[in-house]
Structure 1
Amino acid sequence: MRLSRFAAFAALVLAGPLIAEEPSPISLGEAHVVTTHDSERRINVLLPLDYEESDNAYPLVFVLDGGEAQDIYLAHGIHTWNQLWGRSQPAIIIGVETVDRQRELLPPSASPQERERYPTAGEADAFRQWLIDDVMPMVRARYRENGTAILVGESAAGHFVAETWMTRPEAFDAYAALSPSLQWDNQSLSRKLSGEPPIMRPPLFLSLADEGGATEEGALRFVNAAGDAVCFADRRSSHVRHANTMHQLLADALQFLLPTDADWLEEYGFVVECSEVGETK
């Protein structure tokens, strides 16, 4: 046994180096350094694999919490994996880095407990205006986009997505709110939506995992009031948890919001399940 291992090692040594002396870099996109809310941050733009070789125009998928130490590479990896199966259209992934998530993604809260825990929270409107007025035009001017823009976020960023869908529906063409923190401010977002007359809004993929309690109540109320534009991904009885909702459901969200003509998806189990929802208080 020792002799055979030595022979194998010797063969590797004699075969020469296993890697090139000058490896080539892998380039996925670009980072733009910008400033808002008193903090410098990056807008990370990751391009489809054939972007440089083609003249195609692509949808834009804006991913909140999209810093390099946040969700940008996860989102890009899931999007790339979707391309292998034709689950969703190729897109340009734009990661919008957050620095103080609660300050930037959540509206003010009347809850003393929430204000004590997150004293900086409450500037979502200003962050949204910056995203729409500054970031989107910058990206549209630099990259080949086809006019479609999607907003994606989970947890606090999911609340931001749901609030944008509700208050500024024209800003994006489709939305994905993954496990949104709809317990925030005594579930005020869902209560407000349920008290308004329904209007036409873009498609929304909204998921619910194991959150329970006020988060579940707010999500169910929101979905009940949202109408037919919503795909409700009810995963309360599945393996999806709040911590892994982006890992588990972003592929489904992209398939729902950026569908393709692939006719083999059901055969391989790539079916987006949109659930019915019952009454809630």
Structure 2
Amino acid sequence: MRADPLHSSTRRALLASGAGLWLAGCSTTTPSQPGPLLQAPPVQLPGTHQMDLRDPVSGHTWRIWVQRPAGPAPATGHPVLYLLDGNASFALAAQLARNGAGRPGELRSDGAIVVGIGHPGDATIHPAERQRDYTPPVPGGTATAQAGGAEVLLDFIARELQPRVAAALPVDPQRQTLSGHSFGGLMVLHALFTRPAQFTRYAATSPSVWWNNGQVMGTAERFVQAYTGAPRPFRAQLQLRIGSLETAEAAATPARAAVQRERRMRERTEALATQLSALQWPELAVQMQVLAGEDHGSVMAPALIDALALAQLPR
């Protein structure tokens, strides 16, 4: 086992400095005055920056988080992981990336830039805004105030966000990953099928393939038709993840079973993976996994680990 990087004397000093706080919690006496714990400054993630960025074209404002990796960039630049639902996913992914950077050199992956894309405010999920931003427009239609804004957000990422990240840090253009869950996963699939060269890696977790009567399945068909027998000016990897409990049979309540039966998320996602894998295109690698014991909500965390690993894979 590798030795702890802290010297034993330093560890003892750190433990001693916190002993008063922790031992007070075990004491049978009542403190004479309230402790200062909740008066302490809010926690900040090291190396992380946050800003609300307004899109001059659409007028929408998105909250953006960026964590820069510690240490020098690889010769080809840092891989970048773009995360939808940043309010819910960024802090976890950023900490996972920091954990990986602290591993011994022989076990360490290339440090990834983690970019969260979310919405202003402290809520973990912003239902109305994510439906507006992550769902594709109906065929032949445009975005509305309620839905269909996936192209608007993808344009913003391409026009405003990706250039800003590239200007601030050395990035690897061949390791650009877009990751999303649920509606976010739907947007990831839409991005792959409509602009497969904007990113090189796509991680879709429990994608809402049911949206608008399975519209994305038709988008997949058009993608296949467009590039069958034609030049494919992209090289992409698709990672699909879904929970084993996302079926009607595994639902905990009759109401949830009815929803699963109507949406058929696992069945449709597996069918999509089979369809794309059967193409055997060298420009498109597809990897599908059903995560045992996970439902639609709980699958997000383990899939995020896989998305980060995908982003950090060598070229």
TM-score (norm 1): 0.71
Q: Cα 1:143–1:257, aligned 2, differ >3 Å: closer, same or farther? A: closer
Distance 1:97 1:25 in 2: 18
Match for residue 78 of structure 1? 96
Question: Aligned AA for 2:91?
Answer: Y
- The residue type paired with residue 245 of structure 1 is V
Which of 204, 220, 241 is matched with 1:207 structurally? 241
Q: Which residue of 1 aligns with 2:65?
A: 44
**Per the alignment, in what secondary structure is the counterpart of residue 297 of structure 2?**
helix
Give the 3 Å change call, closer, same or farther, for CA 141–25 of structure 1 in structure 2.
same
Q: 1:221 and 1:191, CA in 2 relative to 1: closer, same or farther beyond 3 A?
A: farther
Q: Which secondary structure does the structure 2 equivalent of 1:243 belong to?
A: coil
Equivalence map 1:49-68=2 (5 Å):
49-50=70-71, 54=72, 56=74, 57-67=77-87
Residue 190 of structure 2 corresponds to which residue in structure 1?
163
Q: Which of the residues 54, 58, 69 maps onto 1:35? A: 54
1:190 maps to amino acid: M
Q: Distance in 1 between matches of 2:89 and 2:69?
A: 17
For residues 119-150 of structure 1, the C-alpha deviation after alignment (integer angstroms, 9 at most, x for no partner) is 70111111111111111111111112122311
Q: Match for 1:206: what amino acid?
A: L
Contact 1:203 1:257 in 2 (8 A): no
TM-score w.r.t. length of structure 2 = 0.64
In the TM superposition, 1:146-225 aligns within 5 A as: 146-147=172-173, 148-194=175-221, 196-197=224-225, 198=228, 201-209=235-243, 210-212=245-247, 213=261, 214-225=264-275
CA contact (8 A) 1:61 1:152 kept: yes
Residues in 2 aligned to 1:35 and 1:153: alpha-carbon distance in whole angstroms: 21
Q: 240, 248, 269: which one pairs with 2:294?
A: 240
Query: Once the two structures are superposed, what CA deviation does each residue of 1:229-248 show, in whole Å capped at 9, x if it has no partner?
Result: 1110122xx12221122211
Mapped pair 1:136 → 2:162: yes
Structure 2: gaps spanning 5 or more residues: 1-22, 28-39, 120-125, 248-260
Do 2:190 and 2:219's aligned partners in 1 also have CA atoms closer than 8 Å? no
The one-letter code sitting in structure 2 at the alignment partner of 1:104 is: D
Q: 1:192 to 1:39 in 2, by over 3 A?
A: closer
Aligned partners of 1:65 and 1:96 also within 8 Å: yes
Contact 2:206–2:296, Cα closer than 8 Å, also in 1: yes
> 1:87: Cα distance to partner?
6.8
Deviation per CA, 1:9-35, whole angstroms, max 9, x where unpaired? 8xxxxxxxxxxxx99976322223311
RMSD of aligned residue pairs (Cα, Å): 3.2
Secondary structure at the counterpart of residue 169 of structure 1: coil
Gaps of 5+ in 1: 10-21, 111-117, 262-281
Indicate conservation of the 8 Å contact 2:112/2:311, yes or no: no
Equivalent AA in structure 2 for residue 164 of structure 1: A
Aligned identity (percent) is 25
